[in-house]
Structure 1
Amino acid sequence: MSEAESKESGLVRIERLVTSGTFSLDGGTWDVDNNVWIVGDDAEAIVIDPAHDAQAVADAVGDRRTVAILLTHGHDDHIRAARESAELLRAPLHLHPEDRILWDAVYEDAPDAEIADGDVFEVAGVSLTALHTPGHSPGSTSFSLPALGAVFTGDTLFQGGPGATGRSYSDFPTIVESIRERLLALPEETVVHTGHGDTTTIGDEKPHLQEWIDRGH
C-alpha cells in the first residue's frame, strides 16, 4: 500500500509505502508492518528504511534517481531488504556505525557509508539532517526535514511514546534522553514520521514525557 503524505513544499513531497514482513531478535519473531519513507520530487528521491519488499520500494520510486538510502537503525525488519533495494535503486546505503553489530547479524559486507550526527543529505532542493538518537539501538538516527516541517524517527519515537527498549543493545534512560534533548526540542508543529504506525507531532507527544518516564517504557 502506498499513500502520499499531504505535506509538500513546491514539488517536493513525502510519500509513505507500508510493507509487511517479520522482525526477529533475541530468538523471537513477530509479524510487523513497516513504514518506508520516500522524500523527493519527480526527478530524484531519498529512501528511508526500505523494509521487507525491495521490489515494492523500487516500484514506488519508479524512474527517479535515488540519491541515497538512509537507515534509521539496524534491526532486521528495517535492513533485511536494504541491500537488494540498494541494488535495484543503484543507491548507496547509509547506517550509523554503532549499529554495525545489528547489521553484521544479517550481512557479511558493510553498509556503503556511515552516518554521523549532523550529516546533511540533500534531495530536490531540501536537506535532511541526521540526529543521533540512541536508545532503541546504539546507532538509532532520526532525520530532520525542516523545509517540510517533518522528522523521521524510525523506532525512537512513536505516537504514544518511545520505541521498545526491552531487547539487546537498547536502553530506556538513553532513549528518553534522546527524545528529550533531540526530538522534543524541534518545533511543536513538526510532523513525526515513524517506523511503524501512524504519524504524530512533536506538540502532541511533548506533554507526555513524564508519563513515559513514570511507566518505564
Structure 2
Amino acid sequence: MAARIDHLVTSGTFSLDGGTWEVDNNVWIVGDDSEALVIDAAHDADAIAAAVGDRRLVAIVCTHAHNDHIDAAPALAARTGAPVLLHPDDLPLWKRTHPDREPDGELADGRVLTVAGTELTVLHTPGHAPGAVCLYAPSLATVFTGDTLFQGGPGATGRSFSHFPTIIDSIRERLLSLPPETVVRTGHGDSTTVGAEAPHLQEWIDRGH
C-alpha cells in the first residue's frame, strides 16, 4: 500500500520575544496502515497519538523549534518510543521550550527519511528559524514546508532568530525550483502549490524591504 498523508489541526499558543499568541497548527502524518512519521508534534500529544493509532511511529520530525511546533514532541516520543529529530541550528530555540530534554537525532540537508516505502528528503531552509527544514516527498508530489512558505508568501521574519533575506534565498533556491505541481503543505493554514507561489517572489522581496 502506498503512503498516504493524514492531516490534523491542533490548537495552542506560540510564544517568543515576550509575546504569546493563539495559533492553530497543521500536524502532518505520512505513512500506511503499519507505520507512520509525524511532522510537527504541535500542542496535543493525545490527539496526535490517536491519529497515529496502532501504527509504529518511526520518527517525530520538527520543521523548526518554535514552541508551537515542538511542545508535544517529548510527550509523543515518550508514548511511542519514536525519536524526535531536529536540525541542530535550532537547538537554542528548542532549549527555550524543553531545557531538560534534548532531541534524539539531527536533521541535515539532504538526509532521506523513509516511511512506508516513501522517501522524504530534508531541505535545510533557514530564515524563519536558523534550523528550519522542509521535507520533500517527490513520490507524493508534496513538500512539507513548516513555516518557511505559506499560501501567499514566506513565513514571518520579524522576531528573534529570523532573517528576511535568508528566507527569500531558501524559498527561491530550495522550494521554487521544485516541480510547479508540487503541493505545499504548510505549518499553518491552507495548502498551496509551488506553481501558485512562484510568480509572486519579486512581490515578496519588494514588500519585505
**Pairwise mapping of residues 1-217 of structure 1 onto structure 2 (< 5 A)?**
10-107=1-98, 108-216=100-208
TM-score by length of 1: 0.95
The alignment partner of 1:68 has SS state of: strand
Q: Provide the C-alpha distance between the structure 2 equivalents of 1:11 and 1:112, rounded to a whole number of angstroms.
A: 28
Q: Structure 2: how far apart are the matches of 1:11 and 1:88?
A: 26
Judge conservation of contact 1:150–1:193 (CA < 8 Å) in 2.
yes
Alignment deviations for residues 19-65 of structure 1 (CA, whole Å, 9 cap, x no partner): 00000000000000000000000000010001000000000000000
- Amino acid aligned to 1:139: G
Look up the match of 1:6: none
Give distance in 2, aligned partners of 1:32 and 1:89. Answer: 25
Please tell me whether the aligned partners of residues 96 and 141 of structure 1 are also in contact (alpha carbons under 8 angstroms): yes
Cα offset for 1:11? 3.2
| Code of the aligned partner of 1:24 | S
TM-score by length of 2: 0.98
Name 1:7's counterpart in structure 2: none
Aligned letter for 1:209? L
**1:110 deviation in Å?**
1.0
Structure 1 segments, 4+ long, off by >4 Å, are none
Shift of 1:16: 0.5
**Any stretches of 5+ residues in structure 2 without a counterpart?**
none
Give the secondary-structure state (helix, strand or coil) at the position aligned to 1:111: coil
Identity of aligned residues (%): 68
Question: Following TM superposition, by how much is the alpha carbon of 1:109 offset from its aligned partner in structure 2, in angstroms?
Answer: 2.1
Instruction: Give the length in aligned residue pairs.
Output: 208
Structure 1 gap ranges (5+): 1-9
Partner Cα distance (1:100, 1:207) in 2: 34
Question: 2: distance between equivalents of 1:70 and 1:92?
Answer: 8
8 A Cα contact 1:11 1:42, kept in partner? no
Cα displacement string for residues 114-161 of structure 1 (whole angstroms, at most 9, x for unaligned residues): 111000000111100000000000000000000000000000000000
C-alpha separation between the residues in 2 aligned to 1:188 and 1:151? 11
